Amino acid sequence: MLKKNTITLKDNSTGKEIELPILRPSEGTPTIDVRSLYRELGYFTYDPGFLSTASCRSSITFMDGENGILRYRGYSIEELAAKSTFLETCYLLMYGDLPNQDELKEFDVIITHHTILHEAFKRFYSGFRRDAHPMAIMVGVVGALSAFYQEENDVHDPNCRLISAHRLISKMPTIAAWSYRYAHGLPFMYPKNSLDYSSNFLYMMFATPAEDYTPDPVMVKALDLLLILHADHEQNASTSTVRLTGSSEANPFAAVAAGIASLWGPAHGGANEAVIRMLMDIIESGKDVQHYIDRAKDKTDRFRLMGFGHRVYKNYDPRARIIRKVCHDLLKNLGANNEYQQLFDLSVQLEEIALKDEYFISRNLYPNVDFYSGVILLAMGIPLNMFTVIFALARTVGWITHWDEMMQDPESRIGRPRQLYSGELTRKYVKLEKR
């Protein structure tokens, strides 16, 4: 008789059977616990890219890719986008519940008062070439934070973890804005405590010491929304990188720097930059949209429709739906014939053609979060190479919350995948003169 909540695995070569427990999530896909598999049967599992592997338990973010659902701590992304702020969302992710008014005020004060970077960072920035990609600067500067906070480096102490989390969330806008200022030869602007999180970032990006600067409230709102939408996305490549790095008990600044490096790639956070480059190429080429759709389908061509497809979403990415609407409204606000409208119209045209095309339909390829976000960022005056930096700024709270969850999880171990070895068997060393 089979026990409930187990699955039986039979090795047909030996006839040996084992029962593996089925772990039931609070919501989502049941998961087979294979931890005893190697011990009992002497096998590993093979799953490149973790297509079917849950690497941890997590109670932070829920995704249902088939139905296009995303929730942070149980709250739908649609509701948070409509009603919350980025700072409140950070609190929600970190502490598990929405704050009351006093809690939010206190959190705001903490985050606001950790935004300044040590003065020595100015020299750190000036060590980079002027044309350095801001993501390269981010990886270096965030990693370097660990050299400045050595007193609170006990990763097993919850207070040390909390202060590190606060420092990262607070300093990321300063680090990001300064990487832009450095690349453009502009003076670094210090944060201003009277401004909210998103206004402060725009201030540090675009203000000059010579003039007063008030961030445009429409842009502030749009940025805050983008930050909410990018704040977390369960076990994606960069978050898994942060967890894997942190699993060796490395400090959180090093782990987040590793996450930033992972995010940089065009298959992950670099896609928003790649989308705009693709749209500009299409406009410049003068070729019609169908030509690019055909290229995306051609397996001999490495071109992919950037901003399309997702490992988990086999339906419309709920974040893309929200961003598309915001983008449309923002451009309307900027007035007719603004220079970004052409990019937006082209995106809509690409989407319409792709969603009717058998290739995209059969592979469940829909626009993802990056498909429309780039146009909004451009309209804010953010240069292309800063797009992924802003993604990193938003995702920092997700990374650090996952890291903290992992550090508290009694089941977590150093991440150490196994392999299916396909190399040579034992060989005899042949002396150099005899080869």
What is the contact surface with ligand ACO in residues (CB under 6 A)? 267-269, 271, 296, 304-311, 363, 365, 368-370
Radius of gyration, alpha carbons of the chain? 24
- In the block, tokens 């003068």 appear at 286
User: Which amino acid appears at position 7 of this protein?
Assistant: I
- Identify whether 196 is a catalytic site residue: no
Q: Residue 223 Cβ, how far from ligand ACO at the closest point, in Å?
A: 17
Catalytic residue among 233, 310, 317, 404: 310
Q: Residue 165 Cβ, how far from ligand ACO at the closest point, in Å?
A: 22
Position with the least CB separation from ligand ACO: 309
Q: Residue 342 Cβ, how far from ligand ACO at the closest point, in Å?
A: 21
For ligand ACO, the closer of residues 258 and 369 by Cβ is 369
Going by the DSSP 8-state scheme, the letter that residue 186 receives in this structure is: P
Q: What is the distance in angstroms between the CA of the first residue and the CA of the last residue of the chain?
A: 62
For ligand ACO, the closer of residues 99 and 367 by Cβ is 367
Q: What are phi and psi of 152, to 5 degrees?
A: -105, 50
Contact residues for 336 (Cβ-Cβ < 8 A; gap 6+): none
Strand pairing of 61-64 and 69-72? antiparallel
For ligand ACO, the closer of residues 97 and 298 by Cβ is 298
For ligand ACO, the closer of residues 164 and 347 by Cβ is 347
Q: How far apart are CA 37 and CA 80, in angstroms?
A: 41
- In the block, tokens 């829920």 appear at 62
Q: How far apart are CA 382 and CA 177, in angstroms?
A: 10
Q: How far apart are CA 307 and CA 365, in angstroms?
A: 10
Catalytic residue among 224, 232, 317, 370: 370
Q: Residue 369 Cβ, how far from ligand ACO at the closest point, in Å?
A: 5
For ligand ACO, the closer of residues 89 and 238 by Cβ is 238
- In the block, tokens 């190399």 appear at 423
For ligand ACO, the closer of residues 204 and 375 by Cβ is 375
Q: How far apart are CA 410 and CA 407, in angstroms?
A: 8
Q: Residue 105 Cβ, how far from ligand ACO at the closest point, in Å?
A: 32
- CA-CA distances (angstroms) from residue 246 to 94, 398, 426? 17, 14, 35
For ligand ACO, the closer of residues 121 and 360 by Cβ is 360
- Identify whether 370 is a catalytic site residue: yes
398 burial (CB, 10 Å; 0-12 / 13-18 / 19+) is buried
Structure tokens at 161: 């973890």
Which of helix, strand or coil describes residue 367? Answer: strand
Task: Give the number of residues written for the chain.
Answer: 435
Element (H, E) at 279: helix 271-285
Q: Residue 416 Cβ, how far from ligand ACO at the closest point, in Å?
A: 23
For ligand ACO, the closer of residues 207 and 377 by Cβ is 377
Q: Residue 150 Cβ, how far from ligand ACO at the closest point, in Å?
A: 33
Q: Residue 357 Cβ, how far from ligand ACO at the closest point, in Å?
A: 10
107-141 burial code (b ≥16 CB/10 A, e <16): bbeebbebbebeeebeebbeebeeebbbbbbbbbb
Element (H, E) at 254: helix 252-263
Q: How far apart are CA 108 and CA 113, in angstroms?
A: 8
Q: Around Cβ 331, how many Cβ atoms within 10 Å?
A: 20
Catalytic residues: 310, 370
